[in-house]
Homo-oligomer: A and B are copies of this chain.
Amino acid sequence: MGLNLGQITDALGGDLQGDRQTLITRLAPLATASSSELGFLSHPKYQSQLNDTQAACVVVSPVLAPVAIARGACIVTPDPYLYFARLTQLWRAHHPMPVGPRIHPTAVIDPSASIDPSATIGPLCVVESGAHIGAHTRLHARVHVGHSCVVGDRCILHPGVVIGADGFGFAPHEGAWVKIEQLGAVRLGDDVELGANTCVDRGALEDTTIGNGVKIDNLVQIGHNVHIGDHSALAGCAGVAGSAHIGAHCTLGGGAIVLGHLELADHVHISAASVVTRSIHQAGQYSGFFPIDDNAAWEKNAASLRQLHRLRERIKALEQRPQPSQ
């Protein structure tokens, strides 16, 4: 179990300052790494960790190389965080999780579904009629892919994901709700990853679509008719309401909500717990949440906030007061 430094740099590049034969037994955070483990330093502000770590080797950027070399073995690379990501992949490839059968016998797969021969379907999954699962895609246990939904290549769907439940559509009629049958489906692009218990609803008429390379965390809700552009990322507990269109390279922070029928341009970043209530046409960072405070201070400020409009009028009245003659 393990890789030596030569194996690592042969596979991933980087400028190795140290002994190729040094065996690495684990990847670890710098703060807790033992003398047979490898850590990384992605940001100069954590430089102090370099002095304290016991790690056998540290992955660093060129600017930190002199300090790192003085300490011991290191791998110098322009983007240590990216290097670390690839190193986790190399590590996993050398220490694979046990894999069950390609299609687990407890999965319930409609005969009309098309499953690429290279795809993996975990235990207790359901793949309904007419669905398609792309090449090298992995459905972990207990994933649901509904009727006619399409999952692209190299996707990863974590346990409990539900693709293709009905969108939430009803017409009001005499005080009750008349169901709008959801006649569309869901299409996921390639290289999409969906976190545990995340839901993507089928479209009302056309398909809900998730672009290539989109990454979505756990417990996220994607409503019907939504479109998410390539390489966007949504953190846990986020929600996107029906018919919203999110551009490419966007991010939603945890718990952020996008209301229905809105459009977000490319490269729009929404802070955690913020509610998008209007379309955003300009790239940038947007925020909207109440700053946390100790409860007593919050209560005072919240109470004042409920009269803010009147405060504004009082300021205006003050401004209109006659001033003393100079």
Interface residues of A (CB under 8 A from B): 26-29, 32, 79, 81-82, 84-86, 88-89, 91-92, 97-98, 104, 106, 108, 110, 112, 122-124, 126, 128-129, 140-142, 144, 146-147, 156, 158-160, 162, 165-166, 168-173, 175-183, 191, 193, 195-197, 199, 201, 204-206, 213, 215, 217-219, 221, 223, 231, 233, 235-237, 239, 241, 249, 254-255, 257, 259, 270-278, 284-295, 297-309, 311-312, 314-315, 318-319, 321-326
Contacts and interface: CB of A to CB of B under 8 A. Distances in A.
B179 A160 contact: no
B275 A293 contact: no
B221 A221 contact: no
A293 B301 contact: no
Contacts of A318: 315, 318-319
A319 B324 contact: no
A165 B217 CA distance: 10
Secondary structure call for the A interface: loop
A80 to B, nearest CB: 9
Given A26-B205, A272-B275, A300-B309, 5 more contacts: A28-B205, A123-B126, A146-B159, A239-B255, A277-B292
A254 B255 contact: no
A315 B311 contact: yes
5 contacts: A88-B183, A89-B181, A288-B290, A297-B309, A318-B318
Contact of A196 (B128, B165, B183): B165
Contact of A291 (B85, B88, B179, B277): B277
Contacts of A27: 183, 205
A134 to B, nearest CB: 17
Contacts of A171: 79, 81-82, 84-85
A305 B127 CA distance: 49
Closest 3 CB pairs of A and B: A288-B292, A85-B171, A88-B181
B292 A276 contact: yes
A29 B168 CA distance: 17
Contacts of A239: 219, 236-237, 254-255
A199 B321 CA distance: 58
A223 B236 contact: yes
B285 A162 contact: no
Contact of A275 (B165, B259, B273): B273
Contacts of A26: 205
A169 B89 CA distance: 12
A187 B223 CA distance: 27
A30 to B, nearest CB: 10
A308 B308 contact: yes
Contacts of A287: 292-295, 298-299, 302
